[in-house]
Amino acid sequence: MMKRFSLRMATAGLAGLVLASLGPAQAAEQVPPPRFNWASSGIFGTFDRAQLQRGFQVYKEACAACHGIDQMSFRNLAQPGGPEFSTAQAAAIAADWMHKVREIGDDGQPTERTPRLADRIPGPFANKKAAEAAHGGKAPPDLSLMPRARSYERGFPWFLTDIFTLYQEHGADYVKAFLTGYEEGKETPPGTHYNKYYPGNFVAMPNVLQDGLVTYSDGSPQTAKQYAADVTAFLMWTAEPHMEQRKRIGFQVLLFLLVLGGLTYFTKKKVWKNVEGHA
Amino acid sequence: MQGHSHYVPTSGIGKWMDSRLPVPRLVYDSFIAYPVPKNLNYFYTFGAILSFMLVSQIVTGVVLAMHYTAHVDLAFNSIEKMMRDVNYGWLMRYLHANGASMFFVAVYIHMFRGLYYGSYKAPREVLWILGVIIYLLMMATAFLGYVLPWGQMSLWGAVVITNLFSAIPLVGPTVVEFLWGGYSVDNPTLNRFFSLHYLLPFMIAGVVVLHVWALHVTGQNNPTGVEVKDVKKDTVPFTPYATIKDAVGLIFFLIFFMWFVFFQPTYLGHAVNFVPADPLVTPPHIVPEWYFLPFYAILRAITFDVNLIIFTIPSKLGGVLAMFAAIAVLAFLPWLDTSKVKSSAYRPMHKQFFWAFVAVCLILGWLGSKPAEYPYTVLSLIFTGLYFAYFLVVLPLLGLFETPRKLPASIADSVLGKARSGGAPVTAGAAAAPQTKG
């Protein structure tokens, strides 16, 4: 087994090495997703609380039956910079959660209990094997990091201009486009569905988001498009719960450095004033 | 520069210490009285910037190590936990991950500056070679560090790079198993990579000490390439002149650094590394970090066996040899360049070849990010040839055929010439330096 695995890695390594062509050559062209507007983009971007709350609702009602968000705890739902449910609301969400916390009881037997605020949000499956068994051998991926774990090729010169325009929602744009990218009436291999934006187009996940699937209480449009935007925004937050803090501190740091840099520069001018050849 | 200590201890403790372990004298001579050419431009602040980056990487790295778990089942989640639940853990991680890239930005500017002004020439050969060793250690450290988050690119990058060693004839496979600590990239590999990633920066720090020591023996080169003749006229003391100038350079470099840390923290990484490592799923496109891309292009440029009559170099070994040669050739630079003139400001032809070489490196970097298929493989081969041609053909021959411009008699002369004409350079070549003022 070990030897066979070693051979497998060596072959793959060799492929990556000399014939890295194999991968990309086989991978089908990926259609770049359209650009969407995100409340969280730019230097001063912050999440739209109401949107994150709706997004959580979409995750809970449309995604959580198959996908976990293992990196998140219920307490995170109440922390600053996120959907900011009240602590009581977050505790109620935990108590009502559809999946139980699986643990080993005092008698040494596997047992289940109702989640509490401090618990990680339990996913649909006890373990990876169970998830694979329920989905034809391939476990539905965890969604915690999804907008960061996906991207698309920007190409020259856009990958350079992105540094200055601060476009970094490549993954979010992809996820949203993917969720609404299903097309009917295409020839697909058995067990797959046609998605315009998925690399290779044939994806095991069916088209889940249908108009009217989730009932919003704040009067937002109950369309697949809106659901996709909301749940993607929510996942952008789960991928980086401290984004707002990061941008806020970043602005202060840059302001400080610019002032310090200016002062230091003029100090330098003064110090060098009497050196010949320097103004 | 060495051996002319003007340090006079004033306090009683200072005198007592000076006759026992003269550390204050060392600091005084190295960072206060040390004479620096007065015509250095801002490209000469990158030494200080690099020192700062090394310290920054070690400090943030030590903190990260307190929260990191080097185990294949736990590594990925331990980092995510740090990003979420450790106070400012996200900041430490972004500083460290982006800091690695910034370290390379700074080192590449530092190296190209050395190439442009001929800083590797006598008497600074050892100084330059120590720099090449630091660069090599940096590459090893960066590679080991990228494996630690144990995402998909971490794992598969490790698979590809460790497999390079399997190209070594006869002992290759044994060497690779030794590196892996088993029969595949697995938990023992991650453990030893973590250990080595923690060790190497301190080795870098050691070589940096030698690098700075060698610098202080020979004194700094400068944009004219003319050696210091009169310390009084040609130089200024390190403090306050170089210190304040290094501070300006560092702060503006930090602004660039912080832009990435706070506003584009994942720009320089790969999205697929946010997917936990899976030995059973190969990512469609395995690419190294941007700073390795030119070498990656050279590695993949050799797609054919080289038949040398007595024996054949298989394409894989050929690629590995070419890649290592591309780094090793730097160490021989002091003897490959035959020109007596150091600075490109006075070498009209070399100046053009230098910028062509910069372009070759950038294009190789772009090719390294492309899949190894036509036409990229052919282009890679052409530009690999051009890369080596710069060192092995251009530099040796240029010294024989090029007519350099007239050098100024001294550093003071070149500076005065500029000052008299109201800032416009009189010496023909001085205008060519990317930045002569400062």
Tens digit of each residue's pLDDT (9 = 90 or more) over B18-43? 999 999 999 999 999 999 999 999 99
User: Domain residues for B373?
Assistant: 23-426
Which residues are registered as beta bridge partners of B169? none
Instruction: Encode pLDDT of A149-172 as tens digits.
Output: 999 988 888 999 999 999 999 999
Report how far residue B56's alpha carbon sits from residue B182's, in angstroms, rounded to the nearest whole number: 34
Residue B324 pLDDT > 50, yes or no?
yes
Report how far residue B226's alpha carbon sits from residue B89's, in angstroms, rounded to the nearest whole number: 48
**What is the number of CB-based contacts under 8 A between chain A and chain B?**
184
Residue B435 pLDDT > 70, yes or no?
no
Find out whether A45 and A245 touch, Cβ atoms under 8 Å.
no
Quote ipTM for the complex.
0.90
Mark yes or no for CB contact B264/A16 under 8 Å: no
Mean pLDDT along residues B127-147: 98
- Exposed (0-12), middle (13-18) or buried (19+): which is B59, by Cβ within 10 Å? middle
Mark yes or no for CB contact B166/A264 under 8 Å: no
Residue A11 pLDDT > 90, yes or no?
no
pLDDT at B120: 97
Q: Given CB atoms, is A257 within the 8 Å cutoff of chain B?
A: yes
Residue B1 pLDDT > 60, yes or no?
no
Closest CA to A254 of A158, A166, A170: A166
Instruction: Encode pLDDT of B374-383 as tens digits.
Output: 899 999 999 9
Residue B389 pLDDT > 80, yes or no?
yes
pLDDT at B388: 98
Mark yes or no for CB contact A240/B83 under 8 Å: yes
pLDDT at B6: 85
Question: What is the torsion angle, in degrees rounded to the nearest 10, for the CA atoms of residue B99, residue B103, residue B104 and residue B110?
Answer: 160
Q: Is residue B303 part of a domain?
A: yes
Which residues are registered as beta bridge partners of B45? none
Report how far residue A40's alpha carbon sits from residue A220's, in angstroms, rounded to the nearest whole number: 19
Find out whether B405 and B429 touch, Cβ atoms under 8 Å.
yes
Residue of B nearest to A267 (CA): B244
- Helix residue spans in chain A (DSSP H): 2-17, 22-26, 49-58, 87-96, 128-134, 146-149, 158-165, 170-179, 224-239, 243-272
The angle formed by the CA atoms of residues B121, B127 and B132, to the nearest 5 degrees, is: 100
Mean pLDDT along residues B335-351: 96
pLDDT at B418: 66
Q: Given CB atoms, is A17 within the 8 Å cutoff of chain B?
A: yes
Q: How confident is the model at residue A269 (pLDDT cuts 50, 70, 90)?
A: very high
Mark yes or no for CB contact B271/A18 under 8 Å: no
Q: Given CB atoms, is A253 within the 8 Å cutoff of chain B?
A: yes
Interface of B with A in 146-175 (CB under 8 A): 156, 159-160, 162-164, 166
Q: Is residue B435 part of a domain?
A: no
Q: Is residue B135 part of a domain?
A: yes
Amino acid at B131: G
Chain B residues with beta carbon closer than 8 angstroms to that of A20 = 285-286, 300, 371-372
Residue A1 pLDDT > 50, yes or no?
no
Q: Given CB atoms, is B185 within the 8 Å cutoff of chain A?
A: yes
Query: What is the radius of gyration, based on Cα positions, of chain A?
Result: 24
Residue B431 pLDDT > 80, yes or no?
no
Mean pLDDT along residues A120-127: 95
Mean pLDDT along residues B178-195: 97
Q: Is residue B16 part of a domain?
A: no
Ramachandran category for residue A208: left, alpha or beta (phi over 0 → left; psi -120 to 50 → alpha): alpha
Report how far residue A63's alpha carbon sits from residue A51's, in angstroms, rounded to the nearest whole number: 16
Mark yes or no for CB contact B271/A170 under 8 Å: yes
Q: Which of A148, A257, A267 is facing B255, going by the closest CB pair?
A: A257
Chain A residues with beta carbon closer than 8 angstroms to that of B267 = 162-163, 168
Lowest-confidence segment of A5-9, A206-210, A214-218, B4-8 by average pLDDT: A5-9
Report how far residue B310's alpha carbon sits from residue A265's, in angstroms, rounded to the nearest whole number: 63
Residue B108 pLDDT > 90, yes or no?
yes
Chain A residues with beta carbon closer than 8 angstroms to that of B164 = 17
Q: How confident is the model at residue A12 (pLDDT cuts 50, 70, 90)?
A: low
Mean pLDDT along residues B155-172: 95
Question: What is the torsion angle, in degrees rounded to the nearest 10, for the CA atoms of residue A24, residue A26, residue A27 and residue A30?
Answer: 90
Q: Is residue B351 part of a domain?
A: yes
Instruction: Encode pLDDT of B312-321 as tens digits.
Output: 899 999 999 9
How does strand A193-194 pair with strand A101-104?
unpaired
pLDDT > 70: percent of chain B: 94
Lowest-confidence segment of A178-182, A184-188, A238-242, B180-184 by average pLDDT: A184-188
How many structural domains comprise chain B?
1
CATH of the domain at B387: 1.20.810.10
Q: CATH classification of A47-264 is 3.40.50.300, yes or no?
A: no
Chain B: closest CA distance from residue A69 (Å): 12
Instruction: Encode pLDDT of A30-67 as tens digits.
Output: 899 999 999 999 999 999 999 999 999 999 999 999 99
Residue A108 pLDDT > 90, yes or no?
yes
Instruction: Say which DSSP state B235 is in.
Output: E
Mark yes or no for CB contact A71/B245 under 8 Å: no
Chain B: closest CA distance from residue A168 (Å): 7
